[in-house]
Amino acid sequence: MTLKLSPYRNEPLTDFSVPANRQAYQDALQKMRATVGRTYPLVIGGRRIETDDTIASVNPARKDEVIGYTAKANREHAELALEVGWKAWEDWRTWDMDARARILVKAAALMRRRKHEFSAMMTLEAGKNFAEADADTAEAIDFLEYYARQSLKYAGAGETYDFPGEENRLHHIPLGVGVSISPWNFPLAIFTGMLAAPIVVGNCVIAKPAEDTGIIAAMVVDLMHEAGLPEGVLTYLPGLGEEVGDYLVKHARTRFVTFTGSRQVGLMINENAAKVQPGQRWIKRVVLEMGGKDALIVDETADLDEAAAAAVASAFGFAGQKCSAMSRLIVVDSVHDELVRLVVEKTEKLTVGSGEQDCNVTPLVNDESFEKVTRYMEYGRQEGKLLTGGSTDGSVGHFAQPTIFDDVQPGARVAQDEIFGPVVAVIRAQDFDDALRIANNTEYGLTGGVFTKKRERIERARRDFQVGNLYVNRKITGALVGVQPFGGFNMSGTDSKAGGPNYLEYFLQLKTVAERF
């Protein structure tokens, strides 16, 4: 029976100005707080496996609070996961596409019902405030609904011409068993999307979540099984990236690797996966989505108040810990002073504190990130003029003030390196052309934006701004699944466009069958 679904639409965001919604979120926080201290075992082929060694998931707003522990997989667990995955694949690959898609739709329905619980766990584990966590959950639901619908177009035959006396068919078939390695910054949406896509088109996935956010990932794995996913199709394998992640990337039996994370790790994975191991029978398919150094250009025709509001939202939402976050603000000289004044004014109104208290600028995820941001604040002092912020406070949590450096040179470290925190480099441009040159002067190419009223400049940016996701006269974060397919150029990755109409093809191969009658 063919799956019949209502048209796709994005999951609505929760309006937290409504007191009942805030209360519901507080209740969910309390419910999730009651789970603090639990240990989440590995899930391999229906078995829940405890390990001697564990990974602690720490509340970034209160460093002394452990939210829970996940098991820590080793090489034997990785071997077992591959064994179980390939066994499960024999059956899973034969399922009808619509039957697989139904599981995603069911998972979306379950997640929608418990929406605030998933979000609240991200508030505890990743430090997200209510709206940021809610958007992450909505995106996860979107990925499930969107990929369920997209999969159906690969159920039938692909397009071919007829040849007299023959039947010619083009089939989309799954690849096999792959590993999905995800980051902590969208610990629900990206984790969910990166496993749902390969799975719905008939692959088995070993999901290795980021070390900092293994608990929310465990909740997703439970949800997928509750939705009816057969055991063995999805393995939950938390562990260290450089240990179990690396082992799986290099393994001869790994058919594909889908990765989202830093440029440094992504490039290493690319290299490791390319090397053919003894006994390996295929060229591994590798999908990489990596970092950014995203710029917003503001010219002299722009609505400066709107531009300033968009800059602040793009730079400091989730403390700048988004691959799409604005970290370079490139302003045409004649409006520089006024724009910068407005940006600083709006920035200084932001509250810094925990997600549980629903502050605007929430903590950095871990010690490493805290140290990096602290270091780059020092570089910023050397390379520019501090306008606001400039300090970090690690006494209770990993807090960093929203920080703006003015008069930064385009080649400076704070203008070139991905900092992944609330730090903005303001760069002065002579005119729009100069601004576009500066914006493109990066090895990354993820998101970018322009604020201008000039039609010809908008068209110029459409053509010449080298980014995978370009935004005009709006903020540069918050891409919607199915509406703004997401992924970057150059060192930002393979531009696979998550949440886009071709994404599932990365997890499929084509087989042509010609029968002469």
Pick the closer one to ligand NAD by CB: 59 or 369: 369
Strands 234-236 and 166-174: unpaired
Which residues are CB-contacts of 495 (< 8 A; sequence separation ≥ 6)? 468, 487, 488, 489
Segment contacting ligand NAD (CB under 6 A): 151-159, 175-183, 198-206, 425-433? 175-183
Q: Which two tokens stand for residue 241?
A: 């990236």
Pick the closer one to ligand NAD by CB: 181 or 297: 181
Active site (annotated) includes residue 289: yes
CB-based closest residue to ligand NAD: 241
Pick the closer one to ligand NAD by CB: 69 or 184: 184
- Closest by CA position to 308, among listed 336, 274, 284: 336
Evaluate whether 507 touches 256 at the Cβ level (below 8 Å).
yes
Dihedral of CA atoms 386, 387, 393, 397 in degrees, nearest 10, equals -130
Q: Is 185 in the site for ligand NAD (CB under 6 A)?
A: yes
Q: What kind and span of H or E run contains 92?
A: helix 75-92
Segment contacting ligand NAD (CB under 6 A): 54-62, 179-187, 219-227, 332-340? 179-187
Both ends of the chain: CA-CA distance in Å?
29
Q: Is 236 in the site for ligand NAD (CB under 6 A)?
A: no
Q: Is 182 in the site for ligand NAD (CB under 6 A)?
A: yes
Q: Is 249 in the site for ligand NAD (CB under 6 A)?
A: yes
Active site (annotated) includes residue 323: yes
Strands 38-40 and 403-406: unpaired
Measured from the CB of residue 484, what is the shortest distance to ligand NAD in angstroms? 12
Evaluate whether 425 touches 329 at the Cβ level (below 8 Å).
yes
Measured from the CB of residue 142, what is the shortest distance to ligand NAD in angstroms? 15
Long-range contacts of 451-454 (CB under 8 A, 24+ apart): 451/296, 451/297, 451/298, 451/299, 451/302, 451/303, 451/306, 451/307, 451/310, 452/297, 452/298, 452/299, 452/301, 452/302, 453/301, 453/302, 453/303, 454/299, 454/301
Give the C-alpha separation, 101 to 169, whole Å. 23
Q: Is 192 in the site for ligand NAD (CB under 6 A)?
A: no
Of 134, 139, 246, 383, the residue at the interface with ligand NAD (CB under 6 A) is 246
Of 154, 399, 420, 451, the residue at the interface with ligand NAD (CB under 6 A) is 420
Segment contacting ligand NAD (CB under 6 A): 88-96, 130-138, 148-156, 238-246? 238-246
Q: Is 183 in the site for ligand NAD (CB under 6 A)?
A: yes
Which residues are CB-contacts of 389 (< 8 A; sequence separation ≥ 6)? 347, 377, 400, 401, 402, 403, 404, 422, 423
Evaluate whether 203 touches 178 at the Cβ level (below 8 Å).
yes
Considering only residues 301 to 330 of the shown chain, the ones binding ligand NAD according to CB under 6 A are 323
Q: Is 242 in the site for ligand NAD (CB under 6 A)?
A: yes
Measured from the CB of residue 225, what is the shortest distance to ligand NAD in angstroms? 21
**x/- map, 257-296, ligand NAD, by CB under 6 A:** ---xxx--x--xx-------------------xxxx----
Q: Is 32 in the site for ligand NAD (CB under 6 A)?
A: no
Pick the closer one to ligand NAD by CB: 342 or 504: 504
Measured from the CB of residue 264, what is the shortest distance to ligand NAD in angstroms? 7
Q: What angle do CA 214, 182, 25 make, to 5 degrees?
A: 50
Pick the closer one to ligand NAD by CB: 172 or 372: 372
Of 418, 424, 445, 497, the residue at the interface with ligand NAD (CB under 6 A) is 418
Segment contacting ligand NAD (CB under 6 A): 206-214, 299-307, 430-438, 448-456? 206-214
- Count of residues in contact with ligand NAD, rule CB under 6 A: 33
Considering only residues 425 to 484 of the shown chain, the ones binding ligand NAD according to CB under 6 A are 446
Pick the closer one to ligand NAD by CB: 134 or 418: 418
Q: Is 491 in the site for ligand NAD (CB under 6 A)?
A: no
| DSSP letter string, 130-187 | HHHHHHHHHHHHHHHHHHHHHHGGGTS-------TTEEEEEEEEE--EEEEE--SSST
Give the HSE-up count for residue 253: Cα atoms under 13 Å, Cβ half-sphere.
15
| DSSP letter string, 93-110 | TTS-HHHHHHHHHHHHHH
Measured from the CB of residue 188, what is the shortest distance to ligand NAD in angstroms? 12
Pick the closer one to ligand NAD by CB: 129 or 388: 129
- 214-226 vs 189-200: helix axis angle to the nearest 10? 40
Dihedral of CA atoms 330, 333, 336, 337 in degrees, nearest 10, equals 150
Catalytic residue among 139, 289, 356, 383: 289
Pick the closer one to ligand NAD by CB: 172 or 497: 497
Of 184, 191, 370, 405, the residue at the interface with ligand NAD (CB under 6 A) is 184
| DSSP letter string, 246-262 | HHHHH-TT--EEEEES-
* Catalytic positions: 289, 323
* Residues that bind ligand NAD in the complex, under the rule CB under 6 A: 181-186, 190, 208, 210-211, 241-242, 245-246, 249, 260-262, 265, 268-269, 289-292, 323, 418, 420, 446, 486, 488, 492-493
